[in-house]
Structure 1
Amino acid sequence: MARLLMMCICIVQMSVLQIRGAAENTPVLQILQGKLMGLEMRNGYWQYLGIPYGTVDDRFQEAGPPPRWLGVFNASDTSVVCAQYHGRLQLPVGIEDCLVLNIYTPGPKSYFDEVFGTGHRLGA
C-alpha cells in the first residue's frame, strides 16, 4: 500500500513540474488528425503534449495509423508516462500504450527576444 501511495505521489509531482511554467493556451493548430491546442509557457515556448501518432491493437504488433478526432484536442496532458522501472519505488510504472509526441517550440516571443532584442534575427 505504501508503494502504491508513493507511486501516485511521484506521478503527481512529475505532472506539476511540467505544468509549473504554463501561462495560457496556444492558438489552435490544424494538423492531419484534426485541431489541437497546447500551452504557452512563461518563457515564451509553446508545448504540445500527448499528441497520439499511432494506434495499437495487440502487444508487440506494428502500430496502426494515428487516430483522428473531432473538435479541438487538448495537447496539455502530462499524465502519459511510458512503461519504465522506477528505481526508488522498486516497481514498474507507466503504461505500455504511449504512442504520443511531446513537442516544444519557440512561440512568437521567446526568451531570446527579451534578452537580446531582435538583433540575432537581423544579423546585427
Structure 2
Amino acid sequence: MAISLYAVVPAIRYTEAGLRSVSTNLLETATQLGCTPLQSMVLVQLPTARPALLLGLNQVVMAAITMLPVAATVGTSELGQQIYIALGKADAGLGITAGVVFCLVAINLDRILRGVAERLRSTK
C-alpha cells in the first residue's frame, strides 16, 4: 500500500502537466466544433497528452520497483527481501543475484512500456 501511494505521485504530476500543456487553440477549436467538456477531454486532451501520460506510467513503475528493497526493511516478502537478507548476511553471491534480477525486471518493464509507447505513437 505504501509503495503504491509513493509511486502514484509522479503519475499525478505528469498527468497534470500533460493536460495543462494542451494548446488552448486545440481546446477552443474543439469547443467551436461542438464538443462537450467530456468529449474535449477524451478526444483532444488525453490523446495530445499521451506522451506525458506514458512517461508518468513509466515513472510509477520505476518508483515502485525502486521502493521494493526499502520495503523489505519492514518485513515484506518479495525480491526486495532477498536483497535485504543478502546485506544482512554479507552474502555477495545472493546479493549480486538478487540485484541482477532486480535490474532485469526494471529493464524489461521499461522496454515493455517503451514498446507500447512506440506502438501508440505509430497509430496516430
TM over 0.5: no
TM-score relative to the length of structure 1 = 0.31
Higher alpha-carbon Rg:
2
TM-score relative to the length of structure 2 = 0.31
The structure whose residues are more often helix, as a share, is 2
